Structure 1
Amino acid sequence: MFKFRTVLRSFAVAAALALLSVPSLAQEKAPAKPAAQASGVYYEIFVRAFYDSNGDGIGDLNGVTAKLDYIKSLGVSGIWLMPINPSPSYHGYDITDYEGINPQYGTLRDFKKLLAEAHKRGIQVVMDMVINHTSDQHPWFKAALDPKDPHHDWYLWAKPGTDLKAISAVGGPAWHRASNGAYYEGTFTAAMPDLNYDHPAVRKAMIDVGRFWLRQGVDGFRLDAAQHIYDDLRTDMSDPIALQKNVRWWAEYRRALEATNPHVWLVGEVARQNPDDLNPYLGPLNAVFDFPLATQLIESVTQERNLGIGRGLEYTYAAYRKHANGAFDDAPFLSNHDQERVMSQLDDNMLHMRIAASLLLTLPGHPFIYYGEELGMQGSKPDEDIREPMRWYRNGKGQGTASWKDWSSTDDSTVSVQAQEADPASLLNLYRKLISWRKQVSALRDGVLHDVPAADPHVLAYTLEDAQSRVLVVHNLSREPRVLELGSEAHVSSVLLQREGGAVLADGKLTLPAYATVILQ
């Protein structure tokens, strides 16, 4: 066995580890909010790929309802549904009717049934809200082609002197020629014309859309392209005016929606790699997806080294609290529908996948899991191949399996719910275990994080503390056992939880098996 000592700074130990204790569930105080006994974890679902209830090959809303017991068995607190509105595309990010349901997915009645059944199981429902742009097939845009129509000013049109070769904020052409010969702005593609948020009617229309879905019973929204309401061109990406206008809009949106549902939860997609670029959105939004952390988690797992995760998070969370007046939620994740699946990023290394899951699910806030991640599904670009049918059965096909496209990956029969349900050591059951920890120990989901500096670059340690509990979380990122010397100042009493056994606490030293995750009290 290779032994490595990790030296803990005495001031950090004294401040963060002294008198560590986790009360039993029976001793915990009554939660201050309904979600306190939940895990805080959300599950992202591409409806088309999830479960087909009527045999037409396309996953649908009734299919999601049929699988709510599976979703509940994971222990998640909520689901995020990728776009379910009518759209000419398979992915749905170009909407033609903001108050309708994609007929391939079902009806509004089907959706309300899904909401009711999810809420019965304590599962919240977050909708994808795509309001930076519409489809070019939306009636608003079709009307806007007439310069005399009131909807013309709902979109952004080139003026004399406009640089029609300008590059958009996402790297493609910003300006596109319409059928009437005029040029309109579309940050993403020509099929997605940008809306003009300087127009009061646009702002009112989109607030009305949010209120409509809240009245149906939706709990919150994932805000697509939240940074691109005004950040349209590459030259806007560092423009403080564009940033200020983005933030002001989302603050207005939040206030308006809270008038309909004071508890509405908003998580924004701000796809930036500098944590400081996310800070301004905290306050107007409850949370933003932590893209910088996702990159760091994958890199740390791949290299089997702590690349400053705890130190970076302590700094980031302090900045978040400052911007949000103390009230914020992080939204960590490993991959989503726009990125290669995490198992593919990790080159199908199951040991790395397991430690990646452990890192994600022992961080505070609202971690997001992409459907199939809990099985180790693979998927590499193009986008269609990372949005493939959920694998329910060992042999691939079976009742409810979506067939809108075939699988491109080399996943075998073990990468299926059917195979992993029966295996206590499966990745699926590891996800369930880790998520259950978040219900048992409130600090894992709600705690303030403090980095515990480690001399050993293969060990990550941090404390989490809330009003109910304090814990020390330790990860061995490497394939070799490690010995962590806690020192006499660390009043750690016992191993509370460990992922797969083998960790031993004795004489002030913690012996960590390879790729171990341990929670100490």
Structure 2
Amino acid sequence: GLGMTAIWLTPIFENNPVQGPGGDESSGYHGYWITDFTNVDPHIGTREDFKTFVDAAHARGMKVYMDIITNHTADIIAYRECHDPEVTGGPIFRCEYRYIGDYPWTRRASDGAAINDGFLGDDGVHQNEENFAKLTEATWAYTPFVPEQFEGVKVPEWLNDPIYYHNRGDTDFIDEDSLYGDFAGLDDLNTAHPRVVEGMIDIYKDWITAYGVDGFRIDTAKHVRDEFWQQFAPSILEHASGLGVDHFHMFGEVYVDGQKPQHLAKFTTNAELPTVLDFAFQGSARALIVDGVPGLFMDDLYKADVIYANGTETARQLPTFLGNHDMGRFAGFLRESDPGMSDDEMLARVRLANALMFFGRGVPTVYYGDEQGFVSDGGDRLARENMFPSQTDLYNDNDLIGTDATTAEENFDTEHPLYQAIAQFAAIRTAEPALRRGEQITRIAHREDSVFVFSRVDYDAGTEIVVAINAEESAQKLNIAVDGRSENFSALLGQCASSATAPTSYAMTVPALDVVVCKSECGAE
């Protein structure tokens, strides 16, 4: 097969299917607008179906990761000042964010009356039950209410009380509102509130208990308080371990365009999450292979591995990826950068990007359909094509790469060249511990050309694997520094010379838009 060892699912929870004002509705097929955190959405199946799925994956030696949300729920809570026709004369889709300094917790927005006497705010030092017991009226910024048709719709029941939400209006993701604002109207949970912390921990413990899932991908992690994660992560890991799921793992989504490692690393230090999705790798790989930046920029990425909570040990566990359901697909970035790029060149560059991901440090994560040559027309819904035969014209007119098929047909072709390439890379990675756990050492980070060469070294086993990435349109002849004990080499991928040219030097020729992987076994220290 493809060689994947885990499956990351879309959120499976019962979900608000459609929301938004008349004429501007949006669909929640993706699962991120949850109403019932304890149940499976009917369009996916039942709880019994999910148990069958998890058991079937485990029987095949595969792990199952749930995509979870703690930042928000579906858009159920409304504000009188924006959504009550008797007040506004008609609903307003966007509610302007109201800052804490202008609308403090202790003053009612509508008339300025004192409320929540004795509440000291939500700074970390005040995140305790005694303080939050004084937060009893939720009218500090807007006047929240639940429309009659939505009363009691959320599960667990405590989620129906507006007191557990920020109720400050919509975020634009820039400053204070990034933590406190509603994401396109979605009800933003007050993750400083002890009841919210306790409730979310209980919800997700139950899913581990009931199904034995192996990990969580955590949506919108950067919009949640650090103090929440400091309690949530250890509680979940301890619970999983107590059930015998010692390998349970979590990674957070910290999504910012142009991401730098420092934006990510603080969520493993301050917030104490085990790992995060490596958006910095994604940006660097795109820059090298799509934009043609020098290899030097890849070296800058890996030099920053030391700033994660446990340095390179944590960096080796970061899920690396090339595209996703939000930003779009790697092939789409190529087509956007050069609409006239040939199918063969696009195929070569996507293959090369996957090689960089599979052989570099981190845990390679493939977005479904990439192995079938899906391209997409952009991000979000434009990049969520069906692998089963689609009836969506928006998808079916796409020109896939490496195939004459369209998304109007089913796309489960195990002979597709990208399927074959990814399967080959996965098999090499699985067979070579140095590619999974070895130290990564930059050997060549070219100042001018899109060329990057690195070694993965397992000192205990005495193994060095040299990976040469050439994103240039001409072959590259390279003399590469290697460990002085690396004398004899064999080919894992491409053509490799059988021996070093001199102690500490090895010559490689890398074809245009290609990768070569060579292995030396010199014995353990």
Residue aligning to 1:217: 212
**Alignment partner, residue 423 of structure 2:** 432
Equivalent AA in structure 2 for residue 116 of structure 1: D
Where in structure 2 are the equivalents of 1:309-320 lying within 5 Å?
309-320=297-308
Which of 196, 201, 215 is the matching residue for 2:195? 201
Give, in angstroms, the shift of residue 452 of structure 1: 1.5
Residue identity in the other structure for 1:276: Q
Distance 1:514 1:417, change over 3 A: farther
Amino acid at match of 2:509: T
Paired AA for residue 279 in structure 1: A
Q: CA deviation at 1:482?
A: 1.2
SS of match in other structure, 1:214: helix
Distance 1:484 1:149, change over 3 A: closer
The corresponding residue for 1:453 is 444
1:292 aligns with 2:284: no
Deviating more after overlay: 337-346 vs 326-335: 326-335
Which residue type is aligned with residue 134 of structure 1?
T
Other-structure match for 2:173 = 169
Aligned to 1:517: 515
Task: Kindly state the Cα deviation for residue 197 of structure 1 after the two structures are TM-superposed.
Answer: 1.2
Q: Does 1:473 pair with 2:461?
A: no
SS of the aligned residue for 2:516 comes to strand
On the 8 A contact 2:295/2:451 being kept in 1, the answer is no
Aligned to 2:52: 113
Shift of 1:114: 0.5
How far residue 137 of structure 1 moved from its aligned partner, in angstroms, is 3.6
Q: Supply the distance in 1 between the matched residues of 2:180 and 2:481 (Cα, whole angstroms).
A: 61
Q: What does 1:114-513 align with in structure 2 at a 5 Å threshold?
A: 114-137=53-76, 151-158=161-168, 167-169=171-173, 186-190=181-185, 192-215=186-209, 216-229=211-224, 246-262=225-241, 263=246, 264-272=248-256, 273-282=259-268, 284-320=272-308, 322=310, 329-347=317-335, 349-381=346-378, 383-390=380-387, 397=389, 407-411=396-400, 413-414=404-405, 420-422=413-415, 426-455=417-446, 457-466=449-458, 467-468=460-461, 469-486=463-480, 490-499=484-493, 501-504=494-497, 507=501, 508-513=506-511
Task: Answer whether contact 2:15 2:74 (CA < 8 A) is retained.
Answer: yes
Paired AA for residue 462 in structure 1: F
Structure 1 residues 257 and 322: alpha-carbon distance in aligned structure 2, compared to 1, 3 A threshold: closer
User: Gapped runs of 5+ residues in structure 2?
Assistant: 17-27, 79-144, 336-342, 521-525
Q: Contact 1:473 / 1:517 at 8 angstroms: preserved in 2?
A: yes
- Report what 1:100 is aligned to: 39
Q: Mark the CA change 1:326 to 1:96 in structure 2 (over 3 Å): closer, same or farther.
A: closer
Partners of 1:374 and 1:494 in 2: CA distance: 34
1:83-122 Cα distance to aligned partner (Å, 9 max, x none)? 1111122111110111100101110000000000100111
1:421-455 CA-to-partner distances (Å, cap 9, x unmatched) read: 246xx111000000111111112122221212345
* Residue-by-residue CA offset, 1:470-512 (whole Å, 9 max, x unaligned): 322211221211111236975444444444x345456442122
Worse overlay, 342-351 or 111-120 = 342-351
The 8 Å contact of residues 296 and 446 in structure 2, kept in 1 or not, is answered as no
Establish whether residue 78 from structure 1 lines up as the match of residue 6 from structure 2.
Answer: yes
In structure 2, what is the Cα distance between the partners aligned to 1:116 and 1:488? Answer: 45
Secondary structure at the aligned position of 2:387 is classed as coil
Contact 1:144/1:153, CA 8 A, preserved across alignment: no
Equivalent residue letter for 2:512: A
Q: 1:74 is matched by which residue type in structure 2?
A: L
Residue 497 to residue 87, structure 1, CA distance change in 2 (3 Å): farther
User: Is the Cα contact below 8 Å between 1:95 and 1:138 reproduced in 2?
Assistant: no
SS of 2:321 mapped into structure 1: coil
Cα distance, 1:404 vs structure 2: 11
Amino acid at match of 1:265: H
**Structure 2 counterpart of 1:317, which letter?**
D
Matched AA of 1:220:
G
Distance 1:515 1:383 in 2: 29
| Shift in CA distance, 381/459, structure 1 to aligned 2, threshold 3 Å | closer
The 1:223/1:138 distance shift into structure 2, 3 A limit, reads: farther
Q: Deviations over 1:56-78 (max 9, x none)?
A: xxxxxxxxxxxxxxxxx111110
Aligned-residue Cα RMSD (Å) equals: 3.3
Q: Which residue of 2 aligns with 1:179?
A: none
Gaps of 5+ in 1: 1-72, 159-163, 176-183, 230-245, 392-396
Q: 1:335 to 1:91 in 2, by over 3 A?
A: same
Q: Secondary structure at the match of 1:271?
A: coil
Counterpart-to-counterpart distance in 1, 2:315 and 2:474: 39
Indicate the structure whose relative CO is greater, using CA pairs within 8 Å and at least 6 residues apart.
1
CA offsets per residue over residues 137-196 of structure 1, 9 Å max, x none? 489965699xx99822111134xxxxx6x753169x969xxxxxxxx9643211x11001
Does the 8 Å CA contact 1:482/1:512 hold for their aligned counterparts? yes
Shift in Å, 1:381: 2.9
Q: Give the partner amino acid of 2:165.
A: Y
**1:87 matches 2:81:** no
Pick closer, same or farther for the CA change 1:84–1:254 going to 2, 3 Å: same
SS across alignment from 2:428: helix
Structure 2: how far apart are the matches of 1:516 and 1:315? 24
Q: Distance in 1 between matches of 2:159 and 2:9?
A: 34
Identity level (%): 26
User: CA distance change for structure 1 residues 125 and 384 in 2, over 3 Å: closer, same or farther?
Assistant: same
- Alpha-carbon distance between aligned partners in 2 of 1:276 and 1:84, rounded to the nearest angstrom: 31
Separation of aligned partners in 1, 2:71 and 2:351: 36
Distance 1:307-1:475 versus aligned 2 partners, 3 A rule: closer
Return the alpha-carbon distance in structure 2 between the equivalents of residues 102 and 149 of structure 1. 18
Say whether the 8 Å CA contact 2:268–2:275 is kept in structure 1.
yes
Aligned pair in 2 of structure 1 residues 149, 279: CA closer, same or farther (>3 Å)? closer
Report if aligned partners of 1:286, 1:328 keep a CA contact under 8 Å in 2: no
Tell me by how many angstroms 1:304 deviates: 4.1
CA distance in 2, matches of 1:97, 1:388: 26
Distance 1:288 1:503, change over 3 A: same
Tell me if the contact between 1:185 and 1:193 (Cα under 8 Å) persists in the aligned partners: no
Kindly state the Cα deviation for residue 515 of structure 1 after the two structures are TM-superposed. Answer: 2.3
Q: Once the two structures are superposed, what CA deviation does each residue of 1:21-53 show, in whole Å capped at 9, x if it has no partner? A: xxxxxxxxxxxxxxxxxxxxxxxxxxxxxxxxx
How many residue pairs are counted as aligned between the two chains?
404
Question: Does the CA contact (< 8 Å) of 1:504 and 1:512 recur in 2?
Answer: no
Query: Bigger radius of gyration, 1 or 2?
Result: 2
Alpha-carbon distance change, 326 to 385 in structure 1, aligned in 2, over 3 angstroms: closer
The structure-2 alpha-carbon separation of the partners of 1:326 and 1:186, relative to structure 1 and needing over 3 Å to count, comes to: closer
TM normalised by structure 2 equals: 0.69
